[in-house]
């Protein structure tokens, strides 16, 4: 086992037993009308992040997502801010968060008399919560075995499947071997790999889940006659969706897949898991599978990932709230051109400077450093993009997939 997998750092222990690598106060708005006030509250406050849902009419999928993010291991306290006439209820969000042992409060902007008094009131609450967290959050030793780590890719080019994703795959193998959790997603970019997916199943149940998830995604692609591959991909040398899929799938590494989780569920045990973000059939037929990179990253964070890796070939400048995003590129030219945004140059595998395994261990050391508190490049630059939208998934009870 590589040395970095046994490195110990100091994390934050939550009352529900989960361990975080950051100690965040999260401001959540429950309708677009409250968005400005929520951001104004967080403006200038340290370790205070914002998420929110723009719709006035509520949506079970979006509420599940907000609750999963609000009870994330990296989150210690939550302030929910509503306007006062929307369907989504900030009071209910605060109650559920409080029941998890975290600090939580809420208010309606209409009750406080407008923007300025709401921002002042919100800032007072956020500062009190932060002071209380600093004074009372127990610190606890953590290792890679306590980590959930996710991976998303976007802005892919010919190097993503050759270097960026394979290096992350080799890192995933090491994290799984050390007892941690690794989560990958983007099922629509596994099209053509039905047998490959099924062969990676850890158990007959997992095989059944993987095949059903695959079939739902392929049916979706067939029904819209749209495969997740674009003219730019073809011009860049990718010839078929199967080729693109295999490059994307490389980020899953080589370990057995324990099963499939849906959005807002957490894996029930350690190992490698597939996250399904494809909408389930519904009478309204609404919700896109992967409308943008940020949505996938939010889904991975909602699955409990304390850190997320983002693999890009062409370059990207997004970040994420709650959990640090670490940017990996397989293209050394992109790394040099955008070095202020890129955390790791996996292109050195293609130039022969590093082997795949050396690169995975170097990336593992970086993961441990960021988990220990070193800001990733997107964190340093203040990137905290988020995206929560209307979608439908059948998730009878979130508790089924949750670890106590």
Beta strand residue intervals within 112-211, DSSP E: 139-142, 148-153, 181-184
Q: Which stretch binds another protein (CB under 8 A): 16-24, 45-53, 129-137, 244-252?
A: 244-252
Tell me the C-alpha distance between 172 and 180, whole Å.
9
Rule CB under 8 A: choose which of 184, 227, 273, 335 binds another protein.
Answer: 227
Q: Which stretch binds another protein (CB under 8 A): 243-251, 258-266, 275-283, 382-390?
A: 243-251
# residues contacting another protein (CB under 8 A): 33
Rule CB under 8 A: choose which of 66, 68, 250, 309 binds another protein.
Answer: 250
Rule CB under 8 A: choose which of 243, 317, 358, 385 binds another protein.
Answer: 243
What minimum distance in Å lies between the beta carbon of 282 and another protein? 25
Q: At what angle do helices 90-99 and 60-70 cross, to 10 degrees?
A: 40
Q: Considering the rule CB under 8 A, would residue 355 count as an interface residue with another protein?
A: no
Q: Which stretch binds another protein (CB under 8 A): 124-132, 204-212, 239-247, 251-259?
A: 239-247
Q: Which stretch binds another protein (CB under 8 A): 12-20, 46-54, 174-182, 192-200?
A: 192-200
Look up tokens 């606890």; give the residue.
140
Q: Considering the rule CB under 8 A, would residue 223 count as an interface residue with another protein?
A: no
**Closer by beta carbon to another protein, 30 or else 245:** 245
**Closer by beta carbon to another protein, 236 or else 268:** 236
**234: CB partners within 8 A, 6+ apart:** none
Rule CB under 8 A: choose which of 13, 56, 140, 196 binds another protein.
Answer: 196
Tell me the C-alpha distance between 154 and 302, whole Å.
19
Coil, strand or helix at 66: helix
What minimum distance in Å lies between the beta carbon of 173 and another protein? 16
Helix (H) or strand (E) holding 206: helix 204-224
What minimum distance in Å lies between the beta carbon of 196 and another protein? 6
Rule CB under 8 A: choose which of 28, 42, 63, 238 binds another protein.
Answer: 238
**Closer by beta carbon to another protein, 168 or else 371:** 168
Q: Considering the rule CB under 8 A, would residue 198 count as an interface residue with another protein?
A: no
Q: Considering the rule CB under 8 A, would residue 373 count as an interface residue with another protein?
A: no
**Closer by beta carbon to another protein, 225 or else 399:** 225
In terms of Cβ atoms closer than 10 Å to its own Cβ (0-12, 13-18, 19+), residue 146 is buried
**Closer by beta carbon to another protein, 204 or else 231:** 231
Q: Considering the rule CB under 8 A, would residue 292 count as an interface residue with another protein?
A: no
**Cβ proximity of 96 and 70 under 8 Å:** yes
Backbone angles phi, psi at 31, to 5 degrees: -165, 155
Rule CB under 8 A: choose which of 237, 382, 396, 399 binds another protein.
Answer: 237
Alpha-carbon distances, residue 45 vs 23, 125, 136, 222 (angstroms): 13, 11, 19, 47
Closest CA to 168 of 325, 5, 309, 6: 309
Which DSSP symbol is given to 386?
A: -
Rule CB under 8 A: choose which of 2, 54, 55, 158 binds another protein.
Answer: 158
Coil, strand or helix at 316: coil
Write out the two tokens for 113.
Answer: 């008399």
Q: Are strands 19-20 and 9-13 parallel, antiparallel or unpaired?
A: antiparallel
**Cβ proximity of 258 and 206 under 8 Å:** yes
Tell me the C-alpha distance between 243 and 201, whole Å.
21
**Closer by beta carbon to another protein, 25 or else 193:** 193
Coil, strand or helix at 22: coil
Tell me the C-alpha distance between 118 and 333, whole Å.
47
What minimum distance in Å lies between the beta carbon of 263 and another protein? 25
Rule CB under 8 A: choose which of 23, 146, 157, 295 binds another protein.
Answer: 157
**171: CB partners within 8 A, 6+ apart:** 253, 309, 360, 363, 364, 367
Write out the two tokens for 220.
Answer: 């979706």
- Map residues 315-354 to x or -, x wherever contact with another protein holds by CB under 8 A: -----------------------------------x-x--
Q: Considering the rule CB under 8 A, would residue 172 count as an interface residue with another protein?
A: no
What minimum distance in Å lies between the beta carbon of 309 and another protein? 20
Q: Write out the residues near another protein by the rule CB under 8 A.
A: 157-159, 161-162, 166, 191-193, 196, 218, 225, 227, 229-243, 246-247, 250, 350, 352
């Amino acid at each position: 086992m590589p040395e970095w997998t046994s490195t110990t750092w100091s994390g934050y222990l939550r009352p529900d037993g989960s361990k975080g690598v950051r100690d965040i106060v999260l401001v959540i708005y429950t309708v677009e009308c409250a968005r400005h006030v929520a951001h104004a509250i967080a403006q200038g406050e340290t370790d205070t992040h914002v998420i929110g849902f723009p719709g006035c009419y509520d949506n079970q999928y979006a509420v599940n997502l907000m609750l999963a993010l609000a009870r994330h291991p990296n989150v210690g306290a939550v302030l929910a801010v509503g306007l006062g006439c929307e369907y989504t209820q900030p009071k209910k969000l605060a109650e559920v968060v409080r029941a998890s042992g975290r600090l939580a409060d809420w208010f309606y902007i209409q009750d406080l008399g407008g923007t300025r008094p709401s921002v002042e009131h919100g800032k007072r609450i956020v500062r009190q919560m932060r002071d209380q967290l600093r004074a009372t959050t127990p610190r606890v030793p953590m290792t890679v075995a306590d980590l959930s780590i996710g991976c998303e890719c976007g802005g892919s080019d010919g190097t993503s499947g050759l270097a960026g994703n394979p290096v992350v795959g080799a890192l995933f193998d090491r994290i799984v071997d050390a007892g941690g959790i690794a989560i990958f997603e983007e099922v629509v970019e596994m099209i053509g790999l039905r047998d490959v997916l099924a062969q990676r199943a850890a158990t007959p149940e997992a095989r059944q889940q993987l095949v059903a998830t695959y079939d739902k995604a392929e049916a979706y692609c067939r029904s819209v006659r749209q495969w997740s591959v674009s003219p730019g991909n073809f011009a860049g040398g990718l010839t078929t969706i199967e080729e693109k899929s295999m490059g994307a799938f490389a980020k899953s590494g080589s370990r057995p897949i324990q099963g499939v989780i849906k959005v807002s569920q957490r894996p029930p045990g350690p190992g490698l898991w597939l996250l399904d973000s494809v909408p389930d059939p519904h009478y309204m037929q609404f919700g896109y599978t992967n409308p943008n990179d940020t949505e996938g990253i939010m889904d991975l964070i909602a699955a409990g990932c304390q850190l997320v890796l983002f693999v890009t070939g062409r370059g990207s400048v997004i970040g994420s709230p709650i959990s640090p995003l670490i940017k990996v590129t397989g293209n050394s030219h992109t790394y040099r051109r955008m070095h202020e945004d890129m955390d790791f140059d996996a292109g050195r595998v293609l130039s022969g400077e590093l082997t795949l395994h050396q690169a995975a261990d170097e990336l593992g050391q970086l993961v441990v450093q960021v988990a220990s508190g070193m800001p990733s490049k997107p964190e340093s630059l203040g990137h905290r993009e988020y995206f929560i939208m209307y979608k439908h998934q059948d998730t009878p009870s979130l508790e089924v997939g949750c670890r106590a």
